[in-house]
Structure formats: structure tokens, C-alpha cells
Amino acid sequence: MASDTSASRPKCPTVQVEFGGQKVDVPKGGYYDRYQMNPNLDEVAQDPAVGPNIDFFREVPKKLVDSRIGKVYAPNFYYRTKSVQLLFLAPLENLKLKLPAPLEPITALPGYGLVVMTFYSYSVCDNDPYNEVSIAVIIRQPGTRSFSTTQLFSSLWNRTFYGYVLALPVDTEIARVRGVYGYQLPKWLANINFEMDENNIKADITATGGKLDLALHVPLPALKPIPSRSSIVNNNAINKIDEKWYQVTVQTNPLLGAQRLFPRNVNVYRGRGPLSELLNELGAWTVLRMDVLKDAQMILNMPTPLNGIDNANL
């Protein structure tokens, strides 16, 4: 069985690096230790774990840019990733309670909006392997006043979505530090496991104290290869950084995946932890769609300010 679990990663020597005034241990000889976020893509292309084609990254040269924690190389490259995503219906009133003003949930059906839960496994990336879980509310695009239905269909057509992230736990300290200090995202350390073999997808996260928080088990659907750069998805996270509104864009280049509407045999176990409690509070029960990516590339961009947008006209 092929496994991407954090527990199954081989233990290796570490070195201490500094990021944003924080000292963090990273794998010795890993990507962060070797390249400090500024990799030589010709060398990366020789890594058999990366895959045969990295042209997606060559189109976006890295730059040394200012950030809230000093100068950093950006954007962040994720060369080999896997994910499973569930799209839930949830009552609009529940979603509104979780969103800071003036953000508004997008309306999918009368009285209902959308919640996205995603398990990610980043097997090769600039800040070394880690797993992550995201829970986000799909929101109306900032600065636009068109109907929710119009925005929703536009998002689906253009593969461009806007969301507000409510939870983003990770399983390595460098990922937590970068997310909290660089982006002010709701990240914390947790034990996350993610397995995807030829038959099944299994994923879980353990809450503080060792209790199972959330678990997912679903048969692996039939996968189809996707030509590189033919179906790029842009996910835009809207959040406040130092009390000002910003947008963080993640570009995903899917290479092997599947999509299912009203998927069957999706088993979601909700335990006693923050993610399960959050899904319950949101009222997220009905699964509309499942997206599985067994192979994908991703680019995480630096936050960009939403200039001229305030609480009155966001």
C-alpha cells in the first residue's frame, strides 16, 4: 500500500533554521535546507520524486520580496501533491455566524451555502513534506455585487473560487510557522495521516490529547490523466493580515484525478475535536461533490492587498 502518512515518513537528521524570528527544525539535506525557498529548477527536475514535467513552475520565476516577516523568496512551489476534497451544503445562517463582516457566503441553493473540507499531502515542496487539512466557507467575490448564482456559475466556468479559511492544521513546525507568521492563517500542529492506494483513500487527524478528531474513508474513484496546464484552478483565500484585507492565491495544476457529484460510500467520522465541532456548527452534512487529485502541482503566492476595499464596499 502506498502511503503518504506523516507517521510513515522516515525519521531523518534535522538542522535548525530561522524563519520570521522563529527557530525551526527541518530535515537535513531537504529542500528547505538546500535551497532556502529558492531552488534550482534544473536540479529539481532531476529528482525522480518530482515527476517528468515542471514547466508549470518555470513560468513563474521566484523573486525576493518583502513580507511581514522580512524578505522571502516567493511564490512557494509544491512539486508533487495529492488531495481529497468534499464540498458540503450548509445553512447560510450558520455560515454567516462564522464570517467576519463584511464577507458574505455565496448562495448555492435557497437558504444554503458551501463549505469545503480538504485533506492535502505535499510529498515534495520547497518547505519539505507535510500534510494539511482545510475547512473553508465559499464566499462572494470581494468588490462585486452580482447575484450569487451568477458568481457561482462564473467561478465554476473560470475555475476561480473565493473562500474564508476557518481551520488549517498542519503536521510540521515549518509549515505552521510559515502559515501563522507569514500569512496569519489559522494553523496549528496536529497528527495528520493521508493514504491513497489503488483502491481506497483514508485520512484522519488527531486532536490535542490523542483523540481522533476527524476521519475520512472512501473508495478511490477511477482516475483520468489531465494534460498539464489545461485545467488550472485558482483558489483565493481572503483574510485579514495586520488588520487589513488581503488575498492569497493558490494555483493548482491537476495531472491525475477524478470528480464525483453526490458521491457514494463517503464515510466521514466525526470525533471530539476542533474540526468535527466546526463542521457540526456549520451544519455541513450533505456532500455535493468530491474531487480527488492523485497527482497535482501547486503554487502558493504571497498575500496581495485588496486596495480600496473596506467594510462598506467589500
* pLDDT, tens digit, 9 for 90 and up, residues 268-284: 999 989 999 999 999 99
* Count of positions (residues) in the chain: 314
User: Which grid cell sits at 36?
Assistant: 532556502
Return the sign of the alpha-carbon dihedral for residues 149, 150, 152, 156: positive
Domain boundaries, the chain: 78-305
In this prediction, residues 219-241 reach a mean pLDDT of 97
The reply to whether CATH 2.40.400.10 applies to domain 78-305 is yes
Give the pLDDT confidence score for residue 313 in this predicted structure. 44
**d(Cα 6, Cα 75) in Å, to the nearest integer?**
24
The sign of the CA dihedral 130, 135, 138, 141 is negative
Q: Please state, in angstroms and rounded to a whole number, the distance separating the CA atoms of residues 183 and 74.
A: 13
Residue 148 has pLDDT above 80, yes or no: no
Residue 3 pLDDT more than 60? Answer: no
- Top pLDDT among 196 and 314 is at 196
> Who has greater pLDDT, 128 or 10?
128
Which segment of 17-21, 147-151, 213-217, 259-263 scores lowest on mean pLDDT?
147-151
pLDDT above 80 (res 119)? yes
The tally of CA atoms less than 13 A away on the side-chain side of residue 180 is 16
Distance, in Å, from the CA atom of 111 to the CA atom of 14, rounded to the nearest integer, reads 51
Q: Are 123 and 296 in contact (CB under 8 A)?
A: no
The pLDDT tens digits of the residues spanning 168-191 come to 999 999 999 999 999 999 999 999
Half-sphere exposure of 132 (CA within 13 A, CB side): 24
pLDDT average, residue stretch 32-48? 96
pLDDT surpassing 70 at residue 2:
no
